[in-house]
Amino acid sequence: MEEIQIPERMFATGEEPAGERVNTYHKPKRIDSIIEALEPDEVEFMRNTTFGKIISQAENPSFSGTFGQFVIVRMLKVKKKYEIWFLFAGKPIRMSLQEFAHVTGLNCNKIIKKNIKRKKNPITEKLYWGELFGSLKFCPKKVKDREMRLKYACLAFTSCVLLPTSHLPRIIPEHVELIRDFSEFLAYPWGRVTFEMLVTGIKKKDEILLSQSSIALPGFVDAIQLVFMAAVPQIKEVVPQVEPAVVIESDSESDSGCNDIEVELEEDTEAPAPQPKTVRYYVNPTHVRDLDEETKVRLLLKT
């Protein structure tokens, strides 16, 4: 069988920079904050939108900056503008728009640029920002209108989760104008927008920038780890369940002189039904490094 020709690596084997981490501007707690601010029916609405798969991935590990640094310095040099290839355990792993759409569930269709004729006097155009947010002096602490609350949640999601470019992301005015038509906003190919932002940010990193101790990337950087978990499920491990400690006290003054205890249960007392345990996972960089060195993994996500 003919061997697959693997493109040249950014860094030769054994010469990868020993950096510390990839810094992301997206924080998992921001999704929790958005969800906690909504009513149950509003949360259900969000789960049924294009953002639903990312919202529902609470069981997945949080992005590991150390893991991100480990794989990003193992990139391959490819000419395609919107493809990133990594070498892991001797096998190439691709992150293209196809893999990104698969792991995020986002709409990754082409962006259709509308030919909107400008009005004669754009200065007099009323922006939707003022209508949606009103005056900051009279901004209520809690908004009751359901559609407006959902619009706030979606704007927070696109700016803080999908398209963050700093640690203090702000709502983008163009997105506010787009959400004037809520259906149009939800149908917008946000997946392609954030994918292009992420890939462009990665492509800008040359050998010098990748050699720094930490690397900052814009966009939904978690997608890198999601693609790896889909291709190599072995990289994630189950978080060990810590059983509560049970302290048994002995009666040192018992007649028998031993430390045995008699436990009496009332007849009507029933043991509480065990609560189902949520299985949570994490990515251990040491485990990932071992898998890479063993070169015995089998890819599940075809590239």
CA atoms within 13 A on the CB side of 25: 23
- Contact 62/167 with Cβ under 8 angstroms? no
- Domain segments of the chain: what residues? 21-121+186-243+278-294
pLDDT, tens digit, for every residue of 241-289? 766 555 555 454 444 444 444 444 445 556 566 555 667 788 889 999 9
Phi, psi of 199 (to 5 degrees): -65, -40
**What is residue 244's predicted lDDT score, i.e. its pLDDT?**
56
The pair of structure tokens assigned to 57 is 């991935």
Note the pTM of the prediction, 2 decimals.
0.81
Digit-coded pLDDT (tens) for 119-147? 445 555 688 888 888 766 666 667 888 99
Task: Pick the range with the lowest mean pLDDT from 46-50, 58-62, 78-82, 142-146.
Answer: 58-62
Q: Which H or E run contains 46?
A: helix 40-47
SS3 call for 87: strand
pLDDT tens, residue by residue, 195-219: 999 999 999 999 999 999 999 999 9
Distance CA 261, CA 254 (A): 9
Q: Of the ranges 13-27, 123-137, 175-189, which one carries the lowest mean pLDDT score?
A: 123-137
> How is residue 242 written in tokens?
């810590």
